[in-house]
Amino acid sequence: MTGPLDGLHVVELASEISGCYAAKLFVDLGAEVTKIEPPAGDPLRRWGPFPGGVPDPERSGLFHYLNAGKRGATVDLIRPDGLAEARGLIAGAHLLVEDFTPGTLEGWGLGPDDLGRLSPNLVLLRISGFGQCGPWQHRRATPLTVQAASGWVSNRDPDRPPVGVGARISEYVAGGYGALGALTALRLPPAGRVREVDVSQVEALLSTLPYPMLMAQRMKNLGLPANLRSAPMLGVVRAADGWVGINCLTGQHWLDVCAMLGLPEYGERQIAIMLGGPERDEFFGKAEPLLARQTVAEIVELGQALRIPAAPVNDGATVLECPQYAERGFFGQAGGPGWSFRRPGPAFRFSKTPVPQPRPAPRLGARPGRWATAARSLNTTGPQPFSGLKVLDLTTFWAGAYLTCYLGAFGADIVKVESIQRPDGHRYSGAFAYEGDDWYERSPIWQGTNLNKRDLTLDLTSERGVDIARRLAAAADVVVENFSPRVVEQFGLDYDALAALNPDVIAVRMPGYGLQGPWRDYVGWALNFEQTSGMSAVTGYPDGPPCNPQGPADPIVGVHAGVALLAALEHRRRTGEGQLIEIAQIEVAACVAAEPVIEYSMTGAVRPREGNRQRGYLQGVYPTGEEGVWVAVSLPDDGRLDHDTFDELVTGWTRAQAVAAVVKSLQEQGIPAERVITGDRMYDGDLIGGQLDVRGYYEEFTHPITGPHRYPGWPFRITPGPVRHHRAAPPTLGQHNDEILRDLGLSADEVASLRSERVIGERPLGA
């Protein structure tokens, strides 16, 4: 059985994780990928981890994880014969992936004009720190400074420097967006010239944040501190045998946690405790000893029985013991003769085009060969990549809604279903009841994820509501949902029911823990998935607790779901078949946190948290002469200077200067350095005025209730391609009820009847 992208030819010219990961996703979907390496090999061959810790370029675990299933071509692009070999491969490709600094391809004679003479309709995926255009395109960057410039370096402890996300997780994010952008570009009709997909790593990380720029603007308008942050409750806490995450998302969760701990007197003091101070210390002084007497498994089991989002904080060792991963067979075996390791499986599961076990990664020295399969075009027709695509959006909160927002941005007709009995829970994130009768329309987090949609309210507990949903599903190309499995199943809207109505429908189901397994009905949100997958365990200070990466799991999941959906749409275009796509959110999170489990399975060791340090660099986050303002500095480690000495020297210099002076001085010397950006700086400053605005990252739309806002777009530009990131402002609750129901053929009297029976409506019940 062939994969959904069988016949897609990809050439990869990548030197780090982002490009390799984008190409890995294409391999997982059945594409034929040829990886071009220089004679010295991909740098990841020297990264490891290695069996027993002994370096061997043929046994690097991370290299094998990212490159399994690819064909190899060892080519010296400096030599004319090597360049000719590379040109021959590219001439037969649909897509070229590269992640070098801007100008590198052009220096080899492989710029867009040169490539156009080889393959006029080639799609060129380019991934770089700040993108291929704008005044910062040539700015020096490392993964740490990219995190700093994008808001991924966060205050975890008020008495210590802010810290970024560990295990090179940030580098996978741009690769995921790159794969999504490339598949989107491949749907456009041939342009007769190379089509570039220009991905900015900074924009990619910025795109995964829960709209801090919108929240900062909103808090300022309310007269509150722009960067006010409350800690998730209870957060990551000690159990008898490890760390556990207890992640209250609602007031009811908090009340239930207080009852579980036998501390009901704190049930009405949630806000004060979240904001810190004496009440927080008092509460934790009582709660922590109670939790420390129970095991992680006991706390998770009891919390989930009470429908509290509790999860283990797994590391590279304990993630392999997690019952949900184990029963689903997620972590597979890889390696070669005499050595092996465990690695994450694919980020998606298809009912009709299952992902095959990949071949081993290519050996260094492989010679380029002919394409093994016949090439096939993926182009469709239409002015936008998703023109004519009808999508029924049954999502809530962020991950699923992020996917449908993307589809709507580029032409799909999205009908988002909520209800007046239970509106999308994201409407209440960053919205405050004291603001007036329409307070539920004011959430910047909901708005940022729900542009480009039409909004319909339906009571799916009613027969009439479900009947309308079924009629919409029968006419849809795609149905998307991200509830726990039992929710849509009890409404009779699971895949089997949808396929009975519409055999060629593609259903995208995005449950937190998967459709099967002992944890299938567990409740959870982004923090749970970061904790369960190992993302939290690698983030934080070496001598401190694990820290949550602050919620990027949701959009990362949405991006992977988009990649899988576009592949399934290609399979349907070719065969007429729809299918079920399952995206378990804990599995996507584990795919981008792969290295710790690979390392543990190879060496038997769990690497300690590293704070802001990373092998191969002298780097850190340092104070400046401005209160509360920090700067990230990073340069290659040549082994001549002890890292502690480096930190001491840099701190002594930076703390006496303004941050702008530090960054300017270091960048002029070719040393990557960036201010640690916060939400209130994401609409102004050099990065925004000097780079993001030039690239058109933000677009302004006027919301009917809250007025004009600048909304983030997508972290890439497709040229030639769509010139806008979004098409319409986010809707109000039930804004399109009459329009959508009229399109279904309902009369005015029938619509009035539905409204009187509260099957539809424009205000939440009780509001």
Active site amino acids: 554
The runs of H, that is alpha helices, within 139-190 are: 143-150, 169-186
CB 245 within 8 A of CB 536: yes
- Give 452-520 as a DSSP string: T-EEEE--TTSHHHHHHHHHHHHT-SEEEE-S-HHHHHHTT-SHHHHHHH-TT-EEEE--SS-SSSTTT
CB-side neighbour CA atoms (13 Å) of 517: 21
Q: Which of 551, 679, 718, 582 is nearest to 200 (CA)?
A: 718
Number of residues that make up the chain: 767
Strand ranges in 100-165 using DSSP code E only, listed in sequence order: 123-128
Closest Cα to residue 205, out of 673, 549, 617, 620? 549
Residue 336 φ/ψ, nearest 5 degrees: -155, -170
3-state secondary structure of 698: strand
How far is it, in rounded angstroms, from Cα 683 to Cα 681? 6
Q: Are 469 and 460 in contact (CB under 8 A)?
A: yes
Nearest CA-CA partner of 459 in 58, 755, 696: 755
The Cα 552–Cα 526 span in angstroms is 7
CB count in 10 Å sphere of residue 372: 9
Beta bridge pairs of residue 46: none
Residues 6 or more apart whose CB falls under 8 angstroms from that of 82 comprise 75, 76
Contact 164, 144 (CB under 8 A): yes
- List all residues 6 or more positions away from 155 whose beta carbon is below 8 Å from its beta carbon: 162, 229
Give the H or E element holding residue 112.
Answer: helix 112-118
Task: Please say whether the beta carbons of 716 and 198 come within 8 A.
Answer: yes
Report the distance separating Cα 457 and Cα 26, nearest Å: 37
Give the pairing of strands 234-239 and 195-200. unpaired
Q: Which residues fall within 8 angstroms of residue 754, CB to CB, at 6 or more apart? A: 464, 741, 746, 760
452: tokens are 């480009």
Pick from 188, 205, 238, 215: nearest CA to 385? 188
How far, in Å, CA of 593 to CA of 416, rounded? 32
Place of tokens 């004319």: 80
Residue labelled with tokens 């303002």: 629
CB atoms within 10 A of CB 531: 31
* Angle at the Cα of 115 from the Cα atoms of 113 and 119, rounded to 5 degrees: 120
Distances in Å between the Cα of 764 and the Cα atoms of 394, 482, 488 are: 17, 21, 21
